[in-house]
Chain A
Amino acid sequence: MSQSNRVIFYFALVAILFLLEGLTNFWIFTGSWDTSVSILNMALVSAVMALGVNLQWGYAGLFNVGIMGFTALGGLAVVITSMQPVGEAWEAGGARVLAGLLIGALTIGLTIMLRTKLPKGNARAVFTIVVLVGGFFIYRSVFDPGVEAIEAVNPSVAGYLGGLGLPVLLSWPVGGLLAAGAAWIIGKTALGLRSDYLAIATLGIAEIIVAVIKNEGWLSRGAKNVNGLPRPVPNPVDLQADPAFIEAAANFGLGPVEASTLYIKLGYALLFTAVLVIVLILAQLARHSPWGRMMRAIRDNETAARAMGKNVTARHLQIFILGSAICGIAGAMMTTLDGQLVPTTYNPLRFTFLIWVMVIVGGSGNNIGSLLGAFLIWWLYVKVEPMGQWLAQISTAGLDPNNWFAVRMTDAAPHMRLFTMGLILLLVLRFNPRGLVPEK
Chain B
Amino acid sequence: MDFLNALVMLTNFIIIPATTYGAQLALGALGVTLIYSILRFSNFAHGDTMALGTVVTIGITALFQSWGITLGPLPTALLALPFAIIVTSLVMIGTDQVVYKFYRAKKAAPIVFVMASLGVMFMTNGVIRFLAGVKDINFTDGERFLIQARAFKEWSGLDQPLALRTTQALTVVVAVIVVAWLFWFLNRTRTGKSMRAYSDNEDLALLSGINPNRVVMVTWLIVGILTTTAGVLYGLDKSYSPFTYFQLLLPTFAAAIVGGLGSPLGAIAGGFVVAYSEVVVTYVWRAVAGYVLPDSLQPEGLLQLLSTDYKIAVSFTILVIVLLFKPTGIFKGQSV
Q: Which of A's residues lie within 8 Å of B, judged by CB?
A: 61, 63, 65, 136, 140, 144, 189-190, 193-197, 199-201, 203-205, 207-208, 211-212, 214-215, 348-349, 353, 356, 360, 408, 411-412, 415-423, 425-426, 429-430
Q: Are B122 and A418 in contact (CB under 8 A)?
A: yes
Q: How long is the Cα–Cα vector from A354 to B44 in the complex, in angstroms?
A: 16
Asked if A195 and B110 sit within 8 Å, CB to CB, the answer is: yes
- The residues of B with any CB-CB pair to A shorter than 8 Å are 41-42, 44, 99, 102, 109-112, 114-116, 118-127, 129-131, 133-134, 246-247, 249-250, 253-254, 257, 301, 305, 307, 309-310, 312-313, 315-316, 319-320, 323-324, 327, 335-336
- Which single residue of chain A is at the shortest CB-CB distance from B310? A211
Determine the residue in chain B with the shortest Cβ distance to A207: B312
A194's partner among B44, B130, B249, B336 (CB-CB below 8 A) is: B336
- 12 more CB-based (< 8 A) A-B contacts, given A197-B323, A211-B312: A136-B305, A193-B327, A196-B114, A197-B327, A200-B250, A204-B319, A205-B316, A207-B316, A211-B309, A356-B118, A418-B126, A423-B123
Residue among A144, A200, A203 with the highest chain B CB neighbour number at 10 A: A200
Question: Closest CB-CB distance, A221 to chain B, in whole Å?
Answer: 15
Judge whether A426 and B120 touch: CB under 8 Å.
yes
Most chain A beta-carbon contacts within 10 A, residue among B116, B122, B313: B122
A212 to B249, CA, bound (A): 19
A415 touches B130 (CB 8 A): yes
Output the least CB separation between A347 and chain B (Å). 9
Which A residues are CB-close (under 8 A) to B119? 422-423, 425-426, 429
In the complex, what's the smallest C-beta–C-beta distance from B100 to chain A, in angstroms?
A: 10
**Within the complex, what minimum Cβ distance (angstroms) separates B116 from chain A?**
6
Instruction: Decide: B313 and A208 in contact? CB cutoff 8 A.
Output: yes
CA of A353 to CA of B316 in the docked complex: distance in angstroms? Answer: 20
CB contact between B307 and one of A203, A204, A215, A356 (< 8 Å): that residue: A215
A215 cross-chain contacts in B, Cβ below 8 A: 307, 309-310
Q: Are B336 and A193 in contact (CB under 8 A)?
A: yes
Other-chain residue from B110, B123, B126 in contact with A196 (beta carbon distance below 8 A)? B110
Measured in the bound complex, the distance between the Cα atoms of B307 and A144 in whole Å is 12
Q: Complex: how many Å from CA A63 to CA B249?
A: 17
A136 to B129, CA, bound (A): 41
* Subset of 13 A-B contacts with CB under 8 Å: A61-B111, A65-B118, A189-B324, A200-B42, A200-B319, A204-B319, A211-B312, A360-B115, A418-B122, A419-B122, A419-B123, A419-B127, A422-B126
A425 to chain B, nearest CB (A): 4
CB-defined contacts of A425 to chain B, threshold 8 Å: 115, 118-119, 122
Select from chain B the residue with minimum beta-carbon distance to A424: B119
List B contacts of A193 (CB < 8 A): 323, 327, 335-336
Residues of the B chain whose Cβ atoms lie less than 8 Å from the Cβ of A430: 99, 102
Interfacial chain A residues near B102, Cβ < 8 Å? 430
A423, B116: Cα distance in complex, Å: 10
Residues in A whose Cβ lies below 8 Å from that of B247: 207
CA distance A415 to B131 in the complex (A): 11
Q: How far is the CA of A204 from the CA of B320 in the complex (A)?
A: 10
Q: Counting chain A CB atoms within 10 Å of each CB, which of B130, B134, B247 scores highest?
A: B130
Q: Which residue of A lies closest to B98 (CB)?
A: A426
Chain B residues closer than 8 Å to A416, beta-carbon distance: 126
Identity of the chain B residue whose Cβ is nearest the Cβ of A196 in the assembled complex = B42
Contact of B114 (CB < 8 Å), options: A63, A140, A420 = A63
| A419 contacts B116, C-beta separation under 8 Å | no
Task: Give the residue among B116, B119, B129, B324 with the most A Cβ atoms within 10 A.
Answer: B119
Which residues of B are found within 8 Å of A411, using beta-carbon distances? 133
CB distance from B37 to the nearest CB of A (A): 13
Do A412 and B122 touch (CB < 8 A)?
Answer: no
Q: What is the CB-to-nearest-CB distance from A241 to chain B, in angstroms, rounded to a whole number?
A: 44
Closest CB in chain B relative to A112 CB, distance in Å: 11
What separation, in Å, do the CA atoms of A356 and B301 have in the docked complex? 45
B111 touches A195 (CB 8 A): yes
Query: For residue B315, which residue of chain A has the nearest CB?
Result: A204
Q: With a CB–CB cut-off of 8 A, which chain A residues contact B320?
A: 189, 201, 204
Can you name the residue of chain B whose Cβ is closest to the Cβ of A188? B324
**Contact: B257 with A200, CB < 8 Å?**
yes
| Residues A426 and B126 in contact in the complex (CB < 8 Å), given A199-B114, A200-B319 | no
A22 to B111, CA, bound (A): 41
Tell which of B131, B257, B301 touches A144, judged by Cβ atoms closer than 8 Å: B301
Write the chain B residue with the least CB distance to A62.
B111
Whether A429 touches B115, Cβ cut-off 8 Å, given contacts A199-B42, A204-B315, A205-B316, is: yes
State how many angstroms separate the Cβ of A194 from the closest Cβ of chain B.
6
A353 and B122 contacting across the interface, CB-CB below 8 Å: yes
**Inside 8 A of A196's CB, which chain B residues have their CB?**
41-42, 110-111, 114
Name B36's closest neighbour in chain A (CB-CB): A196
User: A65-B118, A196-B110 given as contacts; is B41 within 8 A of A189 (CB)?
Assistant: no
